[in-house]
Structure 1
Amino acid sequence: MSVFDVLQERGFIAQVSHEDEIREMLEKKKITFYIGFDPTADSLHVGHFIALMAMAHMQRAGHRPIALLGGGTGMIGDPSGKDDMRKMLTPEFINHNIECFKKQMSKFIDFSDGKALMVNNGDWLLSLNYVNLLREVGTHFSVNHMLAAECYKKRWDKGLTFFEFNYMIMQAYDFYTLHKNYNCVLEMGGDDQWSNMLAGVELIRRKDQKPAFCITCKLLTTSDGRKMGKTEKGALWLDAEKCSPYDFYQYWRNVDDSDVEKCLALLTFLPMEEVRRLGAYKDEKINEAKKVLAYEVTRLIHGQEEADKAVKATEALFGGGADMENVPTLEISEADKTAKLVDVLTAQKVFGSKREARQMIAQRGLYLNNAAVEDAEFALTPELFAEDGGVLIRKGKKKYYRIVVK
């Protein structure tokens, strides 16, 4: 079975530019391919993880990945799927984010001994001469064809700036540069990048008359088409500081039953026989499959130790266990032992605002030591911490925190 078959069986592949040629190439040759990552935040999120898993499968099959970090394209911003223009980012912000990405990617991709490359498109895009670019690349792009691209259609009514209009050209030029410098012949990425990726394929084929290809991966969506990886705090980040391993574990532990098999196939390296066996579970038994999914994904992202802690914390909270050591802990000062609970939980980022906290109390969705908090002005007391040194908070049905004094 070739890596193309592996990716297809596991549900990665959405669209391909030249399927027969790609199949033959991946069966007979070891190639260099790339996936681009624009550093718009200081952490990768679970949407990026789909791309990293596809990259890892390719590397395991002997192909060489290039992780392209968008130090140049990040200065423009991809308009794909956006109703409004992205916020313009500073070079300092972009460079900081790139360093964060490098650390995270190294957990999943082996960059030792030239087995994979990590490059920054700012190295060539930021020094481009505009007139030279127009002469060298612009002649190969049809404005009519570009305006028909899906990545621009959503912005058409609100107005698409010339600034953003250039993004497709920049991404195509990336592929052309990687092809020229590293013999890169394949671009991979999310399905929302199809138009941009095709532009690079066509640029290489027109300008150099050499083969180039692209494969898009399916976006991570629920069975009813909604985007996965969104939490009440925003994106499901891979950085433990932005999303704790416990919260990360709980997200996968609570996915819809209908999404379990798909997530096991895309987000773990479990053999497909095991994926299908677990995915076939029904009713209460599907919870066993969810435990496997949550553990395997958390282990890949945060390591086995953190995954084990997340399991122990979950068992302590939901299984009647006595070990509360691994439950997410909020540390407060002695002075805060008499503070209003709403103030403490807002300061600890359990809630985004005091208003949000008060609304949950009004809906009887906030619990302290298993008793509903009914008064938004409720204040902590030293006596609450006397028994075991901590106070257990439940937010909604399944979010638990333990408040302790430093």
Structure 2
Amino acid sequence: MKTDDASINDAIEKYINLIKSIKDEDSMNKVRENIVNFSIKYGDYLDNKKKQNDYLIKAVINSLSQIAKDYDPSKYWQESFQHIKELLKSEITYSVLENINTIIKNLLFSTKDTKEIVYKELSEIIFSMLDVAIEHEKASEYKKELLALKKEIYFNSSLLNTYSVRESIKKLIEKKEKLEDEYFNQLQEKLKQAVKALTYVMNTFTKDINNYGDIFQTHIDQIDSLVNVESIDVDEMSKKFIGIAIKIKESTISMNNKIKTLSETIQKSKQTIEELQNKLKEAQESLIIDSLTKVYNRRGLWHFLEYEIEKARRYDKNLSIIMCDLDTFSEINNTYGHQAGDKVLEVFARTAKSLSRGSDIMTRYGGDEFLIIVPEANLEQACQFAEKIRTETEKLKFKYKDKEFHITVSLGVVQFRLKDTIEMFIERADRVLYEAKKTRNTTSKETI
């Protein structure tokens, strides 16, 4: 009947000593009554302890369920679970359950902290990727929505529903693409109108020049006719010459003013056209260039691959693609941080691009996956190129603080078939890459 409650243990010892000291029936009846009362209290104590144990067990189960959703196999977690295992090997008492519950509560709090840190890092990445730098009337409205999502992710991460966040980001991506397309089309239209306006001004000026030439020729003809007149009064001729001279002067001044105005108009139009061309170039780059690696993004991939497929079909040319995936990239991010991961992506893209021909097209397919379009190359030629990328990637060295690390890449190579759509072509490359990823640091090619 020993318990972990000192007062109850003292009472038990007391009644045991009383029973030993009984000498008569009256003493026995008195002790018996006290023991009955104590038994009732002890029963209540046991019921209460059972309820406490049940509550703790339920709390442990609930906590474990929550942890299972956000499990992070860090060293701290592993050590904590190891401690729980050791506790469970001993006798399961209330104090043991309390210890387990404390450990699990700490794990739960660390889960929330970890989750918040991850969400905050993600919010920064999402914000930089989804931000737009365009002059469009709808851009300010879009930026407000983006900022609102960032704040929600940043300050309420523990309360967020993953599905709703994903849907919000998806909607923003769609809005961004639509916004950029509208802005790009708007710039193209403005450029078209600016060129059209300049052309109109130039055509008008050409007509003015022709008119001025006609007027000037008329004045010359008038002078010639006066000179050829045999008998004319000198004063009258002088007056007519002066009249013609005044008209020539007026026409010339008018023409000079038009030339000056035209020069200013041309200069302004030229400046406007140059500004629009620069904005159009920037917009075009933001649409198809990946901001981090400076290679083409997925939109650029679709554009160029569609063109190369059409060319391969029309002229019966070879065409291959190489899909690349950096091995253990998530581990690099987890170990050294996202900045180190970004550096790895930049260096790999630059390295692969430096090995390519002028006609090869390097694109970022997504995350740590890249896709290279290799025009006029068969499977073997593309494989040789892929092997160059693989071996050069092995040689790359990265340093984070005092630690040095290396990366490897897996590559899948396929050749275009006449029946291929873009989706089918990429899907085959993805399947071949999957085979390469099984062993890592491998180049796999499709079996023809």
TM-score band by shorter chain is: under 0.3
Give the structure with the higher percent helix: 2
Q: TM-score, normalised by structure 1?
A: 0.25
Q: TM-score, normalised by structure 2?
A: 0.23
Give the structure with the higher percent strand: 1
Report which structure shows greater RCO (CA 8 Å, sep ≥6).
1
